[in-house]
Amino acid sequence: MAANSKIEWTQVTWNPVTGCSKVSQGCKYCYAERMAMRLREMGNKRYLNGFNVTLHEDLVELPLRWQQPRIVFVNSMSDLFHEKIPLEFIKRVFDTMERSPNHVFQILTKRSERLRQVSKELPWPPNVWMGVSIENVTVLNRVYDLQQVPAHVRFLSCEPLIGPLNTLPLKGIHWVIVGGESGPKARPMKKEWVESILQQSREAGVAFFFKQWGGVRKDLTGRKLNGRTYNEIPVPEYHSQLNLFLK
């Protein structure tokens, strides 16, 4: 299962796993869960189990068939480090990424403790970017776990940002993405929260990407901060190579 993505910081999604479960307040109004339920109602065979964790064996090696270089968000409809996903399956996903050096793979997890625990058993080629989701100060432990992972690019997704993050530990972090929650029950994001993260990123020399203000109608609120669009990425050559991050 792969599809072109409307997510501003990637190009396509690849979902060898679908389904997840809630672990923190950032999961409260999960977009992936809403989408999974909708796809099940539409009869999509990948979502017969709804949002229960489901492994799709036939999709593990899908990127090996892509000839055109792509930037790929891995498991946009799940969490690769979910406790119900066997380590051997995770290793197979990483093997595919290692054998696909023409693509860049972006992985996000909220299960940073498991990520840290198994990271030494996984290959970390330069084309695998590893990130954690940080919605407020209660989950800062995820950053500390990520800092121990030997990925070449480590990043934070502060989305949905539902509280201030005034003391982000940015040592060893290469990229920070910030975004407000979107959807029918979106919780508000304050401008000063975003500006604080921008300032911290500047002081630490970390690339800053502002994804969206969010809200019920994110198409109306846009993604400009103080009149400017922030499309920074940690490896600038991908601007010209793939013509991405310019949305």
Q: Please give the Cα distance from 56 to 65 (Å, whole number).
A: 16
Q: Give the pLDDT confidence of 182-233 residue by residue, as tens digits.
A: 998 999 999 999 999 999 999 999 999 999 999 888 888 999 999 999 999 9
Q: Give the pLDDT confidence of 149-190 residue by residue, as tens digits.
A: 999 999 999 999 999 999 999 999 999 999 999 998 999 999
Q: Please give the Cα distance from 3 to 188 (Å, whole number).
A: 29
Rg (CA), the chain: 17
Q: Are 159 and 189 in contact (CB under 8 A)?
A: no
CA angle 212, 217, 222 (to 5 degrees): 35
Instruction: Please report which helix (H) or strand (E) contains residue 240, including its range.
Output: helix 238-242
Q: Are 178 and 208 in contact (CB under 8 A)?
A: yes
